[in-house]
Amino acid sequence: MTKGTVPFVMTKGTGRFVTRVVRGRTSYSWMEIMKTWITRKNGIEIFRLLGIRCNCYLVRKDGISVIIDTSVRREYATLLRRLKELQVDKLACILLTHVHFDHVANLTRLQGRFDCPVYAHSLEEGFLREGHTRLPKGTKPFTKLAIGFVGNNVWRMHRFAVFCGRVFTELSDDLMVVLGPVFEQLNLQVLHTPGHTAGSVSFVVDSEIALVGDAMVSQFQRDVFPPFANAPEQLPTTWRTLLDTGCRCFLPAHGSEISRNQVERGISKYRAV
Ligand SMILES: [Zn+2]
Ligand SMILES: [Zn+2]
């Protein structure tokens, strides 16, 4: 390992990526962060555009692209660069798994640039108008401690640009729904997956791969329980719902690909929470 290089070992199948600290700034190898999944059934592509802080995904088939979540402000230039590299000059829509600063900080600029519809769950929409959300409750000893220490005002540190545009809230359905031709083209279905926040949703691509936002994570030694959740007791049910889709893997906003076995283990471990 060279001096100044900090290794992070990611879960099986994703190899290792390296963060290099250069004059106080952080850069990383895109070759190792970028990953693409292609569904077996219809060849739909899923690109991980950004890593480290918050994963953003692009889902694409035959020139139709949608983006899921928008990451933090400082990643905006990188996000645009990644879209350019993939020759994306049009977005059919922006989909939000939920409204937390690390998922929506670039929403206003991105929507302004691509002039495309935005979808979010109706329970999350109001936060976009306020430009902040309170962090959910801590679920791990260190996050409980952190929230206890900074208190509910922690949201002041995590403001984001108020979004004044129209938000389509058809994602409110409790059942899986197919929304319009874009969603049919991408065989994209929406699933209400509460627990992290009340209006959290997941997107199931081709009945094969689910983009789950913060409904689960893969950063804590294979423990899928997110470090923050408003209603942690709902998460095992949400995970069961996601498993019932038959998806072969789950892509979280934080960390790398999660297997069905990992989710099963999480259900067994936390059923009684
Ligand atoms: Zn979140
Ligand atoms: Zn997040």
In tens, the pLDDT along 252-265 reads 999 889 999 999 99
Separation of CA 121 and ligand 1 centre (Å): 14
| Structural domain count of the chain | 2
Do 103 and 160 lie in one domain? The reply is yes
Digit-coded pLDDT (tens) for 99-135: 999 999 999 999 999 999 999 999 999 999 988 887 7
Do 9 and 99 lie in one domain? The reply is no
What CA–CA distance (Å, rounded) separates 142 from 119?
Answer: 33
Separation of CA 33 and ligand 1 centre (Å): 20
pLDDT at 167: 86
CATH at residue 238: 3.60.15.10
Do 5 and 69 lie in one domain? The reply is no
pLDDT at 204: 94
Do 27 and 159 lie in one domain? The reply is no
Domain membership of residue 125 as a residue range? 34-270
Do 10 and 122 lie in one domain? The reply is no
Contact at 8 Å (CB) between 213 and 221?
A: no
Separation of CA 136 and ligand 1 centre (Å): 8
What CA–CA distance (Å, rounded) separates 56 from 74?
Answer: 13
Contact at 8 Å (CB) between 203 and 190?
A: yes
Digit-coded pLDDT (tens) for 139-186: 888 787 777 766 656 556 678 888 888 888 766 554 344 456 777 889
Digit-coded pLDDT (tens) for 198-209: 999 999 999 999
Do 109 and 22 lie in one domain? The reply is no
Parallel, antiparallel, or unpaired for β 64-68 and 5-9? unpaired
Digit-coded pLDDT (tens) for 199-254: 999 999 999 999 999 999 987 667 899 988 999 999 999 999 999 999 999 999 99
Do 27 and 160 lie in one domain? The reply is no
* 66-70, 187-191, 198-202, 216-220, range with the lowest pLDDT: 216-220
Do 145 and 11 lie in one domain? The reply is no
Separation of CA 36 and ligand 1 centre (Å): 23
Do 76 and 19 lie in one domain? The reply is no
Q: Which ligand is nearest to the CA of 254?
A: 2
Do 22 and 65 lie in one domain? The reply is no
H or E element in which residue 262 lies: helix 260-270
Separation of CA 155 and ligand 1 centre (Å): 12
- Residues across the chain: 273
Do 18 and 137 lie in one domain? The reply is no
- Residue spans of alpha helices (H) in 68-210: 76-85, 101-104, 107-114, 122-130, 141-150, 180-185
Do 87 and 129 lie in one domain? The reply is yes
Find where tokens 């038959």 sit.
246
What CA–CA distance (Å, rounded) separates 122 from 98?
Answer: 10
Per-residue pLDDT band at 3 (split at 50, 70, 90): very low
User: What mean pLDDT value characterizes the chain?
Assistant: 82
